[in-house]
Each structure stands twice: as C-alpha cells, then as structure tokens.
Amino acid sequence: MKDGHCPKCEGLRIATTRYTLYLGAGVSGPTMDLYACADCRYVEQYMAGSVEEKVLVLDSWRWVQREGEGPFRS
C-alpha cells in the first residue's frame, strides 16, 4: 500500500496518516504510519523507526520466541 495501490482490491484511492500510540502512564509508544484503501477499507500499518530500538527501550515489548528456540535450548 505504500506504493499507492491496494494489494487486496488493486484500488488506487489510498489515504495515509501518521500517529503515535499512547501506552499509558505518560509513556508514548511507537509512531505508526497507517494506510487505508477507500475502495475496500483494507488497512495496513507500519511502525516508523526500528523494531530493535523499541524492544530495547520499552519494557512492554519483547521478542516472540519461535518453536524450538528459547532460553534453555541452544
């Protein structure tokens, strides 16, 4: 959708906005870019900045462990 066309319906009427999530207790979360198709209402959102940065800074973010990986396996 970032290229101006919808992957679901091939529509070309894409609206976009940027907003910051609020995590509560005065803590701002990541800034998000939102893309919405005016034809089928399909929506995608992308985080501005790096995921690694947010995992390091915010206590509420953590990495998802894939099956077979974890703290007790090498």
Instruction: Give the pLDDT of residue 45.
Output: 95
Residue 62 included in any domain: no
Residue 2 included in any domain: no
Share of the chain above pLDDT 90, in %: 46
Report the 10 Å Cβ neighbour count for 52. Answer: 10
Number of domains in the chain: 1
Report the 10 Å Cβ neighbour count for 71. Answer: 5
Residue 9 included in any domain: no
Residue 1 included in any domain: no
Q: Which residue has the higher pLDDT, 63 or 13?
A: 13
Residue 69 included in any domain: no
Laid out side by side, the sheet with 43-47 consists of 14-24, 27-37, 43-47
Residue 41 included in any domain: yes
Residue 4 included in any domain: no
The pTM for the full model equals 0.68
pLDDT digits (tens, 9 = 90+) for 6-44: 999 999 999 999 998 887 787 777 889 999 999 999 999
Residue 51 included in any domain: yes
> Which whole number is the average pLDDT over 53-73?
68
- Which domain does 30 fall in, by range? 14-57
Q: Is the pLDDT of residue 72 over 70?
A: no
